[in-house]
Structure 1
């Protein structure tokens, strides 16, 4: 039986490179590609691949929120977060969303095949560097900053920074506009900010969107 894989990244060259590596592996089939998080969710639910490779910094819906929605709607799909960033907060968000694999793009040539093999067998995959960060995160769990944004608040902030209206954000995240307004207000309060412009600067500075 073939292992069916969906690739989601907003850069054509990255998707092409990942596809080349995967299709060289006998028994694997890339069944689709997505350029943004919403498309990744829709394709994953429609085609039900074995493994979804998600870039963290996807437009519309980031990789963490896309993971949450994919795993919530089709729990059998395994998700590999594929990113340039490995901050402790990102790793924590990824795990809480339901991803069981995390791979830095710089490690793709060395570990991509191993990562997909593990996830296809429903086993978690983390490289040594990420495993160390993961351990440190959980050991210090009781001392994390209480003002840190939740993954849903980050998703809302990302979409605000991308210029989306409250109604558009509500449609993308499948929530009410009131919920969007609540998340926006909570994010502003937690970050001690008072304008949308300041929120956008925060999103750029913290790599929630690409500058």
Structure 2
């Protein structure tokens, strides 16, 4: 049986996945996590064959979490199940060490097929994203925020959600000063004159927080 750690902060998603896996004799739930800290705790203490990972959770998440998992659990298959279908986000997840990438609007059969393939050492990418990668290729114009570091992108997304510096510091477990430094740096890199420009950019480009 493939023991899957479900990492998603939406209870309805986790419940749906549990019900789906209950219909598959070869798939089981090794545990559930609602944030990056719980993911790492589960991986330290339990037997997991595959991590099914949402890209946007509280605390360490996304690319940063994938890199952390890859550093400490190098052989563990990681399949991203995300609401984001942007090619650049998929590329960053795969570059960080994910073995596969699916969007949450995929069908149940597609998901179970991807889990089995990734768990057996293969790779699986949402066919729609692969198609865009092939046809858009290197000519695709990357959005300006791709020049930011992973941490700066995360803070940009959280600021765009209206989070305060104090709230971001608490969520990411870093100091207020560090958040302020990152904010100042990304404002400069992105040539934002004020918070209104930042908020407008995040809304327009659907930057993940």
TM value normalised by structure 1: 0.80
Q: 1:91 to 1:196 in 2, by over 3 A?
A: same
Tell me the residue number matched to 1:44.
43
Q: 1:177 to 1:42 in 2, by over 3 A?
A: farther
Please give the residue correspondences for 1:117-196 in structure 2 after superposition, counting only pairs within 5 Å: 117-136=116-135, 138-140=137-139, 144=142, 148=146, 149-160=148-159, 161=161, 162-163=163-164, 165=166, 167-168=169-170, 171=173, 180-195=179-194
Query: What CA distance in whole angstroms lies between the structure 2 residues aligned with 1:167 and 1:78?
Result: 30
Residue 202 of structure 2 is aligned to residue 208 of structure 1: no
Instruction: Note the C-alpha offset of 1:51.
Output: 0.9
Contact preservation (8 Å) 2:58, 2:171:
no
Contact preservation (8 Å) 2:165, 2:180:
no
Q: C-alpha deviations, 1:100-122, integer Å up to 9, x for none?
A: 11111111323110010011111
Tell me the residue number matched to 2:19.
20
Instruction: Note the C-alpha offset of 1:182.
Output: 4.4
Query: What CA distance in whole angstroms lies between the structure 2 residues aligned with 1:195 and 1:4?
Result: 47
Cα root mean square deviation, aligned: 2.8
Q: C-alpha deviations, 1:123-170, integer Å up to 9, x for none?
A: 0001321111233465337x6456523323212334555445365366
Query: What CA distance in whole angstroms lies between the structure 2 residues aligned with 1:35 and 1:170?
Result: 14
Query: What CA distance in whole angstroms lies between the structure 2 residues aligned with 1:27 and 1:110?
Result: 14
Contact preservation (8 Å) 1:80, 1:101:
yes
Instruction: Note the C-alpha offset of 1:60.
Output: 2.6
Q: Is there any run of 5+ residues in structure 1 with no aligned partner, and where?
A: none
Contact preservation (8 Å) 1:83, 1:103:
yes
Residue 115 of structure 2 is aligned to residue 116 of structure 1: yes
Contact preservation (8 Å) 1:36, 1:58:
yes
TM value normalised by structure 2: 0.81
The size of the alignment, in residue pairs, is: 204
Tell me the residue number matched to 1:60.
59
Query: What CA distance in whole angstroms lies between the structure 2 residues aligned with 1:37 and 1:127?
Result: 24
Query: What CA distance in whole angstroms lies between the structure 2 residues aligned with 1:44 and 1:114?
Result: 23
Q: Is there any run of 5+ residues in structure 2 with no aligned partner, and where?
A: none
